[in-house]
């Protein structure tokens, strides 16, 4: 009999897990749309950017995530033949404990990029730390819209003297606004 009751409890718990999280916090309606400042960025973009080396061609895809509660991004480098190689995957979301927008990216070389996001519809600002092996490097980044179909991307790296040095700059144009859901 005890085994039978235990089986029923385990089955009920498994069913609840498969049905989704039924805790009070998980069943509350979501906030209106915490990532709304990213609406203008959704779509596929391509552009050239220059860092410390030669200019690179890139393609970036931004799409709305589950219930419009997050933004998912994928960044690719594109070679001369038009072949794209995935370099970063990014998630931007509202963190209820921190009460702010946060981002986390994972790079193809194993780096983790973790930080906060702010800004307006016209200019998005990111402050994040890059972690690779034993190293941590701080960065600032902006995406400033020049029009609805063009933006400027700029990245600064924190220096040992506590100042900031621009390390990347580029412009991207909208390739598509196709819904990517």
Between CA 63 and CA 42 the distance in angstroms is 5
Which residues are CB-neighbours of 53 under 8 A, at least 6 positions away?
none
- Structurally, how many domains does the chain consist of? 1
Determine the 3-state secondary structure of 52 from DSSP.
Answer: coil
Q: Is the pLDDT of residue 16 over 90?
A: no
pLDDT grade for 132, boundaries at 50, 70 and 90: very high
Instruction: Supply the mean pLDDT for the chain.
Output: 85
pTM value surpassing 0.85: no
- Using CA atoms, how far apart are residues 55 and 58, in angstroms rounded to an integer? 10
Residue 139 is assigned to a structural domain of this protein:
yes
Please choose, from the candidates 67, 110, 70, the residue with its C-alpha nearest in 3D space to the C-alpha of residue 87. 110
Residue 90 domain-assigned (yes or no): yes
Q: What is the 8-class DSSP label of residue 41? A: G
pLDDT tens digit string along 137-167?
999 999 999 999 999 999 999 999 989 999 9
157 in any annotated domain: yes
**Do the domain assignments include residue 7?**
no
Domain annotation covers residue 89: yes
Pinpoint the alpha helices (H) of the chain.
Answer: 2-19, 24-27
Q: Which structural domain, as residue segments, surrounds residue 78?
A: 31-176
Q: Of 31-35, 38-42, 54-58, 71-75, which range is least confident?
A: 31-35
Q: Encode pLDDT of 60-85 as tens digits.
A: 999 999 988 999 999 999 999 999 99
Q: Please check whether residue 1 lies inside any domain of the structure.
A: no
In a domain, 16, yes or no: no
Helix, strand, coil percentages, rounded to 5, for the chain:
15, 55, 30
CA atoms within 13 A on the CB side of 77: 10
Q: The domain spanning residue 106 has which CATH number?
A: 2.40.128.20
- The pLDDT value recorded for residue 181 is 44
Let me know if residue 65 belongs to a domain.
yes
């Amino acid at each position: 009999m005890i085994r039978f009751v235990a089986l029923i409890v385990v089955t009920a718990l498994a069913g609840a897990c498969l049905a989704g999280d039924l805790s009070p916090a998980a069943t509350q309606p979501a906030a209106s749309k915490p990532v709304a400042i990213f609406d203008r960025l959704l779509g596929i973009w391509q552009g050239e950017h220059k860092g410390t080396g030669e200019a690179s061609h890139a393609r970036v895809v931004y799409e709305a995530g589950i219930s419009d509660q997050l933004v998912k991004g994928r960044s690719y480098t594109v070679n001369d033949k038009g072949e794209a190689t995935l370099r970063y995957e990014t998630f931007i979301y509202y963190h209820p404990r921190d009460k702010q927008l946060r981002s986390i990216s994972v790079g193809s070389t194993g780096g983790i990029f973790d930080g906060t996001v702010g800004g307006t519809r016209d200019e998005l600002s990111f402050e994040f730390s890059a972690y690779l092996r034993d190293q941590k490097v701080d960065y600032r980044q902006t995406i400033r819209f020049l029009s609805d179909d063009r933006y400027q991307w700029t990245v600064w790296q924190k220096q040992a003297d506590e100042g900031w040095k621009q390390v990347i700059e580029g412009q991207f144009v909208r390739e598509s606004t196709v819904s990517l859901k």
